[in-house]
Amino acid sequence: MKDPQVQIAEVQHPAENWTPQRTLTWAFETFGSTVAISSAFGAEGMVLIDMASRLHKKFRLFTIDTEFLFPETYNLMDRIEAKYGVAIEKVYSMLSPEEQDRTHGPALWTRDPDRCCNLRKVEPLRRKLSELNAWIASIRRDQTSARSAAHRIEWDAKFGLVKVNPIVDWNAKQVWRYIHDHDVPYNQLHNQDYPSIGCTHCTRAVRPGEDPRAGRWPGFAKTECGLHIIEPAPAPAAPASAAKVGS
Ligand code: SF4
């Protein structure tokens, strides 16, 4: 297999015009069993799971189970496994909720949600991604400012592998049109004013006129759990001749 960063340099520009289906096909053909869809089973993730099932009978799907998810989310996982015949790979924190309470004090999410997300989401994700060459995410550029610069295919410098974002240029209307047109299952909390769904401790319904992500980490400036932060790739090493200049 070619160096992944070379592969990205070749496809990143043309891929901006690819459909989500073509993007998924490229990812499956290029990375085989070393690519997986990452999902928390929001509406966007359900679109990708449904598309993948139509393109590729066997695909890998994993989720970070913080052990603080809504019953509706666990119910949706069961429905996904039954409908699509996929075994969801569940990844957990090294600490159980009880161990976290003992080590970091009770209700860490009320005092230091960044540390809680690191323990329950970022570290487990890093562990999972270390066994892959590429991951597929369902982020959209219009969701948060941190996501606005995302490419359809990019090098994820934070975790050191290729990241594929097939619906990066979609909007919420396109997502819901796909769901209704293809009879895709979705989290029932979406019908109760929860446009974005995470842990029970850090998610509430949004009020009319609020931003769709206003229900995440209410009371904190936090808008991301740390999974989709874009870090600049390290600058290429200077050629030996250039390095001598000014030394
Ligand atoms: S969303 Fe809240 S409860 Fe879940 S891991 Fe982050 S801080 Fe902890």
For residue 150, how far is the Cα from the chain centroid?
Answer: 12
Return the ligand 1 atom nearest residue 202 CA. 2
43-55 vs 71-84: helix axis angle to the nearest 10?
10
In three-state secondary structure terms, 190 is helix
Q: How many of the other CB atoms lie within 10 Å of CB of 141?
A: 18
Range of lowest pLDDT (5-19, 65-79, 177-191): 5-19
CB of 113 within 6 A of ligand 1: the answer is yes
- Residue nearest atom 8 of ligand 1, based on CA coordinates: 116
How many Å lie between the centroid of ligand 1 and the Cα of residue 125?
A: 14
Task: Tell me the CA end-to-end span of the chain in Å, nearest whole number.
Answer: 37
pLDDT > 70? residue 196: yes
Place of tokens 């109760």: 192
Residue 12 pLDDT class (50, 70, 90 cuts): very high
Start-end of H helices in the chain: 4-15, 20-31, 43-55, 71-84, 97-104, 108-111, 113-117, 123-129, 172-181, 240-244
Q: How many alpha carbons fall within 13 Å on the CB side of residue 138? A: 23
Return the ligand 1 atom nearest residue 199 CA. 4
CB of 201 within 6 A of ligand 1: the answer is yes
Are 20 and 37 contacting, i.e. CB atoms less than 8 angstroms apart? Answer: no
CA–CA gap between residue 194 and residue 218 (Å, rounded): 13
* Angle, CA 107 vertex, CA 106 and CA 108 arms, to 5°: 95
Pick from 157, 136, 150, 160: which is nearest to 30 by CA? 136
CB of 115 within 6 A of ligand 1: the answer is no
In three-state secondary structure terms, 136 is strand
Reported residue count of the chain is 247
Q: How many of the other CB atoms lie within 10 Å of CB of 82?
A: 10
**155: part of which helix (H) or strand (E)?**
strand 153-156
CA–CA gap between residue 218 and residue 222 (Å, rounded): 8
The pLDDT, as a whole number, for residue 243 is 33
For residue 187, how far is the Cα from the chain centroid?
Answer: 16
Q: What would the two tokens of residue 127 be?
A: 């562990």
The model's pLDDT over 121-180, given as tens digits with 9 standing for 90+, comes to: 999 999 999 999 999 999 999 988 888 999 999 999 999 999 999 999 999 999 999 999
Residue 90 pLDDT class (50, 70, 90 cuts): very high
The pLDDT, as a whole number, for residue 238 is 39
The question of whether 202 is a catalytic residue gets the answer: no
Mean residue pLDDT of the chain comes to 90
CB of 176 within 6 A of ligand 1: the answer is no
For residue 131, how far is the Cα from the chain centroid?
Answer: 16
The model's pLDDT over 238-247, given as tens digits with 9 standing for 90+, comes to: 333 333 322 2
Pocket test for ligand 1, best of 95, 109, 217, 223 (most atoms within 8 A of CB): 109
Pocket test for ligand 1, best of 68, 69, 203, 204 (most atoms within 8 A of CB): 68
How many Å lie between the centroid of ligand 1 and the Cα of residue 176?
A: 26
CB of 161 within 6 A of ligand 1: the answer is no
> Is pTM beyond 0.85 here?
yes
